[in-house]
Amino acid sequence: MAQWIDICSKGDLQPNSGVCALVEGQQIAIFYMPEDNAVFAINNYDPFGKVNVLSRGLIGDIKGEVMVSSPLYKQHFSLKTGQCLEDETVTVAAYGVRINGERVEINLNGAA
Amino acid sequence: MSKKKTLVVIGNGMVGQNFLATLMASDIKEGYEVVTFCEETIPAYDRVHLSEYFAGKSADDLSLVEQDFFEENNITIHMGDKASSIDRAAKTVTSDKGIVISYDTLILATGSSAFVPPIPGHDRDGCIPYRTIEDLDDMMAAAKTSKVGAVVGGGLLGLEAAKALQDLNLKTHVVQFAPRLMAAQLDDGGANLLKSKIEDLGVSVLTSKNTTKIVDGDTCKHKMVFADGGELETDMILYSAGIRPRDEIAAACGLKIADRGGIVVSDQCLTSDENIYAIGECASWNDQIFGLVAPGYAMARTVVAQLAGEESCFTGADMSTKLKLNGVDVASIGDPHASSEGALVYTYQNGVDGIYKRLVVSSDNKTLLGAVLVGDASGYPTLSQYYLNAIELPSNPDSLILPARSDESVGLGPDALPANAQICSCYDVSKGDICTSIEGGCTTLGGLKGDTKAATGCGGCAALLKSVLDCELEKAGVEVNTDICEHFAHTRQDLFNVVKVEEIKTFSELIHKHGKGKGCEICKQTVGSILASQWNEYILKDSHVGVQDTNDTFLANMQKDGTYSVVPRMTGGEVTPDGLIAIGQIGKKYGLYTKVTGGQRVDLFGARVDQLPLIWKELIDAGFESGHAYGKSLRTVKSCVGSTWCRFGVDDSVGLAIELENRYKGLRAPHKIKFAVSGCTRECAEAQSKDIGIIAVEGGWNLYVCGNGGMKPRHGDLFATNLDKETLIKYIDRVLTFYVQTADRMQRTSVWMENMEGGLDYLKSVVIDDKLNICEQLEEQMRNVVDAYQCEWKTTIEDESKLKRFRTFVNSDKHDENIVFVEERGQVRPANIEERELLLAEEA
Ligand code: SRM
Ligand SMILES: Cc1cc2nc3c(=O)[nH]c(=O)nc-3n(C[C@H](O)[C@H](O)[C@H](O)COP(=O)(O)OP(=O)(O)OC[C@H]3O[C@@H](n4cnc5c(N)ncnc54)[C@H](O)[C@@H]3O)c2cc1C
Ligand code: SF4
Ligand code: FES
């Protein structure tokens, strides 16, 4: 059952980049691509650098897959699934996220 | 095991040392006990680049001997000890210091000395030959009390010596016995043009002057009196009127000496004694002595091959030459005087641009016999390949010297060269050797240099080497993909041009027009940097935020634990006590780790993203500004304390460093840029390891470019000497803008230079001679960047909407609890994973 949690306003998002939200003790990186009117949410924890920084990486795509590049050691993670594109054994959690009017909402139980 | 033989080498000059190095690289080295006598007080150095000593190169820079070479190879070197006699019957060598060594094989590599005309007064004080480092020290001492200098000799070396006198700020004259300059290499047309070019440099040239005596002067220390009755007043005299082989020790032990001097040698480089070889400038082969280094190296190789039992011959050498003077291009190949029978001549003369070119070809118009180039020597590599490899000329040979019209290409493609074509004459590297190295997996210029040594001598072959490499790679189907990433089928330089020409201001506009997809960290950062270099807009403008590297978007460098470092600018490394106190107080207040960096400033570590604006506000209030430690931009201009305090200081290095840092701060580039300014040639600021290095000398500032510390250190190249500040800044503006416009992404100036076709000479021709006619545009671009400077941190803390971005969480005021410090040596440091887990568990 989808549980949408209100996080912040759309204006709090950083166009073409990321911000971090604290949701029930979890750090969640939220990325916003205004041209596609798309938002993505994955865990903020970088499993390689072992610190909370993914929201501060550059975003874009690799062969069409939307991704964020870790600011520490530059591994790429899919924004849709959290899958690391360089190492198939590594995945970070991905969450449901949507823009509802002027508000941004998260669903911790999985992709929207 | 058979007993080792003793091999003695007399003379540790360029050729003697090359012989030792070649021997040590061969399999037969184990068979010899090697002893060498070195008359000079330092081991072999690069005489070819001797003149650079004036421009700040040290004896160490010029050394040809790798560190610990003698120790590691078990060679005994008797320094500062001259071999005084040879007893051929007893097979011994005796030295000035009384050492006696028995030899099995003896190598004479005694070189030559500068010819000093035996006229009355030739050895007056301040009359100096131009040959050794010691001579140069004497010259510098003499120059201190001189205003006028004269060089006896108008050949290649004489002109180089004249340049040296000019660099020492003396009014300079060249006195030439022959009716024209470079008589051996040039014809009249070429020599006349050269004369006017030399005069344009401010050197006066006197030809057909036979000096009969040197006496006390009236206005200067000396007066040279000429056979035609003329006179010249001068304070110093340099002799550079040819060389005399040092054959005295050979003559004294009865070895055969040539009529015109020099130890007679066979094709095997054997003297008239079968146990004694002679190599280099002391040897006379076929009644010829060779005043160049490459033939000497060829002789050294011949002898090592003989010792190894291989058949090997020295077969003479190419005497083609190129003059190494700033701003004067002269080259001569083969027989420029058309003295061969039936030789035909083509001449091209362009009085407007001061260009003279002459080709001498065989009677059937098929082979190149010689050439003279003055004013534009760019054709030298191609022409010398035609000459050396007897490649058949095109049906209209004059196309080789006529200016290129439309799109016809007159260069000789490297593909046309046979495998045995010699590409590098200094190290005898053939095209075949290069291809072997490439087949072995070597695909970069740097790699080839390391592998084959090609282009590491005089450097003259670098452009040719690169074209062979490119051509071979292309043939091997190695597609050199220069696209920066999957989103743009462009090189960085292409993108730069597009941005500039189409006046594109944002990444999204560029990718919509010229790229595909959404971009990635590679193209975004590259384009971010290009936009900043070109337009220098505020880097956190909404349209730019998403394309900057993490460090740029937060205007701070991310550390391993996700915190940031804070580096305020400290121009030239100068800081007031109050400034230091302010930094100390801020560091203390925010609990930051403080450290003095390798760039002469203070770094504060451990700031959380939300603390950055608070810390910067305090720093700015205390008078600091952003140090751009996060940007691919100007980092630091290091300085030494300079003439203000230092007893050796020649000029105010701190003042200049501060001025330069303030000028170029904020300049965004393909990679970071570092400068340093030293107040004298002791070089305490290590300027020669910087992208831009400046050293104060008596005549002004010497400029070095494209040095690097870091992973692959590279000494900067001496770019120009004795500059006044205005010219210095002009050159730096041009070099940097040219770098910004043409380098690859993440390419430091050192690598940019290594990959530049034509190398240093090309860069000089662009920046100093304005060969591409772009200098005005380069300067204007720099002016725009300088004018658009802003402290990004100041702009940021004044803009509420930007500050939003520095929150840890959009929906909470909490901090990242994963950031945990422990204490070490009285300061904080990031906890390691175990410590962190322990501490977090305790808290929970
Ligand atoms: C802080 C400092 C070390 C220190 O504690 O002294 C430092 C720290 C870093 N250096 Fe450095 N370098 C520091 C002086 C140097 C120097 C010395 C100098 O500037 O005189 C060099 C050699 C000189 C040179 O660059 O030619 C140097 C050569 C490098 C290199 C190798 C560059 C190369 O071309 O090989 C890198 C890696 C790179 O840039 O790709 C590097 C990269 C880095 C990075 C950015 C690594 C990273 O990505 O985290 C470090 C950032 C730390 C930070 O947060 O500020 N650092 N680094 C020094 C800061 C100087 C300053 O005040 O701005
Ligand atoms: C200013 C200058 C610029 C030059 N430019 C170029 C150039 O552009 N291109 C080029 O190809 N060439 C150039 N040359 C020439 C080049 O330097 C020489 O060809 C080369 O140095 C010859 O090497 P060598 O070993 O035969 O002689 P040297 O380098 O002169 O070495 C001979 C050594 O033997 C020592 N010696 C002599 N007798 C004794 C003894 N009895 N006992 C012990 N030691 C002894 C001498 O002190 C000397 O150190 C230039 C030379 C000068 C001076
Ligand atoms: S040397 Fe390496 S570890 Fe030290 S500061 Fe530079 S980049 Fe960091
Ligand atoms: S020809 Fe001198 S370095 Fe190659």
Helix/strand/coil for B663: helix
- Residues, chain B, total? 844
Let me know if residue B465 belongs to a domain. yes
AA letter at B96: D
**Interface residue of A13, A40, A43, A51 to substitute, partner B, most B CBs within 10 Å:** A51
Q: CA-CA distance, B102 to B5, in Å (whole number)?
A: 10
B816/A74 Cβ within 8 A: no
Are B237 and B208 part of one and the same domain? yes
Decide which of B587 and B373 is more confident.
B587
Decide which of B672 and B490 is more confident.
B672
Q: How confident is the model at residue B410 (pLDDT cuts 50, 70, 90)?
A: very low
User: A38-43 and A94-100: which strand pairing?
Assistant: antiparallel
Query: Which CATH number covers residue B720?
Result: 3.30.413.10
B546/A15 Cβ within 8 A: yes
Q: CA-CA distance, B503 to B449, in Å (whole number)?
A: 40
pLDDT for res B411: 52
Q: How far is CA B778 from the centre of its chain?
A: 23
Pick A16's closest partner by Cβ from B486, B523, B545. B545
Report, as an integer, the average pLDDT of B683-707. 96
Let me know if residue B566 belongs to a domain. no
Which residues of A fall within a CB distance of 8 Å from B808?
Answer: 20
Query: Which CATH number covers residue B33?
Result: 3.50.50.60
Let me know if residue B807 belongs to a domain. no
Q: Which residue of A has its CA nearest to B528?
A: A58
Pick B561's closest partner by Cβ from A16, A22, A51. A51
Question: How many H-runs (helices) and E-runs (strands) does chain B carry?
Answer: 27, 38
Which residues of A fall within a CB distance of 8 Å from B545?
Answer: 14-17
What proportion of chain B, given as a percentage, has pLDDT over 90?
Answer: 60
What secondary structure does DSSP assign to B445-501, as a single string?
A: HHHHHHHH-TTSSS-TTHHHHHHHHHHHHHHTT------SBTTBSS-HHHHHHHHHH
Q: What letter does residue B245 receive in the DSSP assignment?
A: E
Calculate how far, in angstroms, residue B689's C-alpha sits from the geometric centre of ligand 1. 14
Could you read off the pLDDT of B36-64 as tens digits, one per residue? 999 999 999 999 888 888 877 888 889 99
260-279 in chain B: CB under 8 A from chain A? none
Query: Other CB atoms closer than 10 Å to residue B276's CB: what's the count?
Result: 24
Report, as an integer, the average pLDDT of A90-111. 90
Are B57 and B122 part of one and the same domain? no
Let me know if residue B346 belongs to a domain. yes
Angle at A90 between CA A84 and CA A96, to 5 degrees: 65
Query: Does any CB of chain A come closer than 8 Å to the CB of residue B844?
Result: no
Ligand 1: residue of B592, B602, B603 to mutate (most ligand atoms within 8 A of CB) is B603
Report, as an integer, the average pLDDT of B754-772. 88
Tell me the nearest-neighbour CA distance from B712 into chain A, angstroms.
22
Q: How confident is the model at residue B318 (pLDDT cuts 50, 70, 90)?
A: confident
Residue B172, domain extent:
116-241
Calculate how far, in angstroms, residue B598's C-alpha sits from the geometric centre of ligand 3. 10
Are B322 and B348 part of one and the same domain? yes
Domain count, chain B: 6
Angle at B410 between CA B404 and CA B413, to 5 degrees: 150
What proportion of chain B, given as a percentage, has pLDDT over 70?
Answer: 97
pLDDT for res B552: 86
pLDDT at B182 over 80: yes
Q: CA-CA distance, B117 to B209, in Å (whole number)?
A: 13
In sequence order, the 6+-apart residues with CB closer than 8 A to the CB of B812 are: A21, A22
Burial B445-483 (b: 16+ CB within 10 A, else e): beebbebbebbbbbbbbbbbbbbbbebbeeeeeeeeeee
Task: Please state, rounded to an integer, the average pLDDT across all residues of chain B.
Answer: 90
Let me know if residue A112 belongs to a domain. no
Query: Does any CB of chain A come closer than 8 Å to the CB of residue B610?
Result: no
Helix/strand/coil for B262: coil
Are B359 and B372 part of one and the same domain? yes
Q: CA-CA distance, B134 to B606, in Å (whole number)?
A: 54
pLDDT for res B2: 59
**Interface residue of A16, A54, A75 to substitute, partner B, most B CBs within 10 Å:** A16
Q: CA-CA distance, A23 to A93, in Å (whole number)?
A: 13
Decide which of B52 and B764 is more confident.
B764
Query: Other CB atoms closer than 10 Å to residue B652's CB: what's the count?
Result: 18
Angle at B124 between CA B121 and CA B128, to 5 degrees: 110
Atom 45 in ligand 2: which residue has the minimum CA distance? B11
Retrieve residue B665's tokens: 């701060």
Let me know if residue B620 belongs to a domain. no
pLDDT for res B398: 82
Report, as an integer, the average pLDDT of B772-781. 91
Are B444 and B538 part of one and the same domain? no
Ligand 2: residue of B18, B48, B276, B461 to mutate (most ligand atoms within 8 A of CB) is B48
pLDDT for res B1: 47
B810/A21 Cβ within 8 A: yes
pLDDT at A111 over 70: no
B808/A61 Cβ within 8 A: no
Are B151 and B202 part of one and the same domain? yes
Let me know if residue A102 belongs to a domain. yes
Report, as an integer, the average pLDDT of A47-58. 94
Decide which of B177 and B412 is more confident.
B177
In sequence order, the 6+-apart residues with CB closer than 8 A to the CB of B598 are: none
pLDDT for res B620: 96
Could you read off the pLDDT of B521-533 as tens digits, one per residue? 889 999 999 998 8
Query: Other CB atoms closer than 10 Å to residue B334's CB: what's the count?
Result: 21
pLDDT at B644 over 60: yes
Lowest mean pLDDT segment, chosen from B133-137, B187-191, B509-513, B793-797? B187-191
Contact B416, B285 (CB under 8 A): no
Q: CA-CA distance, A3 to B811, in Å (whole number)?
A: 18
A20/B524 Cβ within 8 A: no
Enumerate residues lining ligand 4, CB below 6 A: B 424-426, 454-461
Residue A95, domain extent:
5-107
Query: Which CATH number covers residue A48?
Result: 2.102.10.10
pLDDT at B630 over 70: yes
pLDDT at B349 over 90: no
CA distances from A61 to A75, B348, B447 (A): 13, 58, 34
pLDDT at B762 over 60: yes
Interface predicted TM-score (ipTM) of this complex, two decimals: 0.72
Domain count, chain A: 1
Q: How confident is the model at residue B793 (pLDDT cuts 50, 70, 90)?
A: very high
- Pairs from B581-587 (Cβ < 8 Å, separation ≥ 24): B582/B618, B582/B619, B582/B622, B582/B623, B582/B624, B583/B619, B583/B622, B583/B624, B586/B615, B586/B618, B586/B619, B586/B622
Q: How confident is the model at residue B406 (pLDDT cuts 50, 70, 90)?
A: very low
pLDDT at B597 over 50: yes
Let me know if residue A30 belongs to a domain. yes
Decide which of B115 and B337 is more confident.
B115
Let me know if residue B627 belongs to a domain. no
Of ligand 1's listed atoms, the one at least distance from the Cα of B603 is 1
Query: Does any CB of chain B come closer than 8 Å to the CB of residue A66?
Result: yes
Let me know if residue B104 belongs to a domain. yes
Are B529 and B672 part of one and the same domain? no
Calculate how far, in angstroms, residue B13's C-alpha sits from the geometric centre of ligand 2. 6
Q: How confident is the model at residue B407 (pLDDT cuts 50, 70, 90)?
A: very low
Report, as an integer, the average pLDDT of B715-730. 95
Let me know if residue B582 belongs to a domain. no
Q: How far is CA B170 from the centre of its chain?
A: 26
DSSP helix, strand, coil percent of chain B (3-state; round to 5): 35, 20, 45
Tell me the nearest-neighbour CA distance from A1 into chain B, angstroms.
24
Retrieve residue B547's tokens: 């394309």
Contact B77, B12 (CB under 8 A): yes
Decide which of B829 and B550 is more confident.
B829
Q: CA-CA distance, A42 to A96, in Å (whole number)?
A: 9
Are B639 and B776 part of one and the same domain? yes
Among B284, B307, B330, the domain-final residue is B307
Q: How confident is the model at residue B281 (pLDDT cuts 50, 70, 90)?
A: very high
Are B153 and B256 part of one and the same domain? no
